[in-house]
């Protein structure tokens, strides 16, 4: 088993989402001796945002790209290849202003490529990243699970499903800014979610 852990927090240290993602990976390793782990920390190596130059590079035929355009596309190619090469994806996702961090959005933008990771058919879109297990480790200051304010869960589930990743388990650590008792309860809930996900 090959595990890819994506840390999406803007913090390089002390991020609760990374703590939960680390716990998921730890438990996966305990269940699968000999598994390997690759960690991509998007705070340490942020991926560039999808801008006009990037779109220009992506929509220019490969043989016509400038060296700068080829280098930009190659950055996305590397992230796509990394996902394709792993069996399990662990996403550490904090909530920033009710959404996902820009770091994670840029990662999704990089790995979503028509004809490579999804395609359109007569019956609609078809995801091409198949056979992966995904664990999404959320960390939130408040409590949003199952409420209209939780825009993260449907967004993440939709884009993963669009790319073909439909075996997705969600782990929630919530209430982490609501005092010591809430913090303890939040991490306990995350552990319970993880137990259920791994059962």
Per-residue model confidence as pLDDT tens digits over 25-51: 999 999 999 999 999 999 999 999 999
Q: Is 123 exposed, middle or buried (0-12, 13-18, 19+ CB in 10 A)?
A: exposed
- Give the model's pLDDT for residue 199: 92
Q: Is 44 exposed, middle or buried (0-12, 13-18, 19+ CB in 10 A)?
A: exposed
List, for the chain, all residue ranges whose pLDDT scores fall below the cut of 50: none
Determine the CATH number of domain 2-198. Answer: 3.40.50.360
- Give the model's pLDDT for residue 177: 96
Percentage, residues of the chain above pLDDT 90? 99
Whether residue 18 contacts residue 51, with contact meaning beta carbons closer than 8 Å, is answered with: no
Q: Spell out the residues 6+ positions from residue 124 whose beta carbon is closer than 8 angstroms to its own.
A: none
Domain boundaries, the chain: 2-198
Helices 16-31 & 180-198 angle (0-180, nearest 10): 30
- pTM of this prediction? 0.95
- Give the model's pLDDT for residue 116: 97
Q: Count CB-CB contacts under 10 A for residue 51.
A: 9
- Give the model's pLDDT for residue 56: 96
Per-residue model confidence as pLDDT tens digits over 71-93: 999 999 999 999 999 999 999 99
Percentage, residues of the chain above pLDDT 70? 100
């Amino acid at each position: 088993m090959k595990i890819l852990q994506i840390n999406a927090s803007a913090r390089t240290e002390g991020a609760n989402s990374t703590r939960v993602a680390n716990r998921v990976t730890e438990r996966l390793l305990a269940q699968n001796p000999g598994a390997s782990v690759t960690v991509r920390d998007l705070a340490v190596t942020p991926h560039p945002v999808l801008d006009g130059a990037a779109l220009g590079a992506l929509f220019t035929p490969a043989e016509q790209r400038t060296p700068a355009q080829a280098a930009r596309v190659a950055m996305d190619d590397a992230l796509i290849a990394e996902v394709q090469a792993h069996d399990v994806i662990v996403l550490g996702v904090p909530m920033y202003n009710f959404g996902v961090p820009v770091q994670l959005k840029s990662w999704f933008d990089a790995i979503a490529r028509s004809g490579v990771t999804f395609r359109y058919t007569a019956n609609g879109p078809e995801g091409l990243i198949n056979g992966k297990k995904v664990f999404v480790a959320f960390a939130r200051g408040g409590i949003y699970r199952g409420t209209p304010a939780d825009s993260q869960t449907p967004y993440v589930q939709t884009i993963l499903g669009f790319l073909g990743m439909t075996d997705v388990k969600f782990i929630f650590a919530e209430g982490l800014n609501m005092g010591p008792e809430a913090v303890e309860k939040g991490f306990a809930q995350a552990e319970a979610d993880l137990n259920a996900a791994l059962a």
